[in-house]
Chains A and B, each alone.
Chain A
Amino acid sequence: EAGVAQSPRYKIIEKRQSVAFWCNPISGHATLYWYQQILGQGPKLLIQFQNNGVVDDSQLPKDRFSAERLKGVDSTLKIQPAKLEDSAVYLCASSLSAGLAGAPSYNEQFFGPGTRLTVL
């Protein structure tokens, strides 16, 4: 089974430039997540999609970050303009739909390899 694909794997840009990351989840996975992982810290959720709708974007810095999942499959995360503090690994993850909200169920999150962004 193919895993979560992300590209590019590495990106170096200067501050105030724009950058976009792409994620292709595991086939059939309705839920897609974007995480930011700063060196030495655990991943932090930026946004969660259920199909093509946003479930949670409370920690997404919306003045400069945007994300979309137009057809409910692939997703793109964009930063415009980038700041030095955006240097991090950006991880995409996907999982099966949980089914009925509130039902005690869990679907494992499968993570991609991440994109390492360096802002100079």
Chain B
Amino acid sequence: DAKTTQPPSMDCAEGRAANLPCNHSTISGNEYVYWYRQIHSQGPQYIIHGLKNNETNEMASLIITEDRKSSTLILPHATLRDTAVYYCIVRVGDNYGQNFVFGPGTRLSVLP
């Protein structure tokens, strides 16, 4: 089972920031938080990941609370092309051992 809880859907106005929350209250000390998104009829696409510090890249920012029990993915200026299902996943950092467990994610609709 997925170790994360996300709202099933959210709306955001085009040009505004989209803030997608994720709860992971049982996260372990060595588990990272990953975000992927899946645009309709495409495979998932990596966005960002982090351990405990906030992270930013060209796509988004990831804010992780100090107790690491929740996080927020921020798309600073949402566009219509950001409409997708966003998945929050927690797992250890290496590629061996436990693998990704995708939950149902949050369906983000960016509205014009």
> B-contacting residues of A (Cβ < 8 Å)?
4, 31, 33, 40-45, 48, 55-56, 91, 93, 95, 97-98, 101-114
* 10 A-B pairs with C-beta separation under 8 A: A42-B87, A91-B44, A93-B44, A98-B94, A101-B96, A102-B94, A105-B94, A106-B32, A106-B93, A106-B95
Secondary structure call for the A interface: loop
Q: Which residues from B are CB-within-8-Å of A42?
A: 2, 85, 87, 102-105
By secondary structure, the B interface counts as: loop
Contact B93–A105 (Cβ < 8 Å) = yes
Interface residue tally on B, bucketed by range: 20 to 34
Q: Is B99's CB under 8 angstroms from A106's CB?
A: no
Closest Cβ of chain B: how far from A89's Cβ, in Å?
9
- A41–B104 touching, CB < 8 Å: yes
Q: Mark B1-15, 1 if CB is under 8 A from A, else 0.
A: 010000000000000
Shortest C-beta distance, B88 to chain A (Å), equals 10
Residues of B within 8 Å of A113, CB to CB, are 41-43
- A8 to B64: give the CA distance in the assembly, Å: 40
The residue that B93 contacts in the complex, of A4, A104, A110, with Cβ under 8 A, is: A104
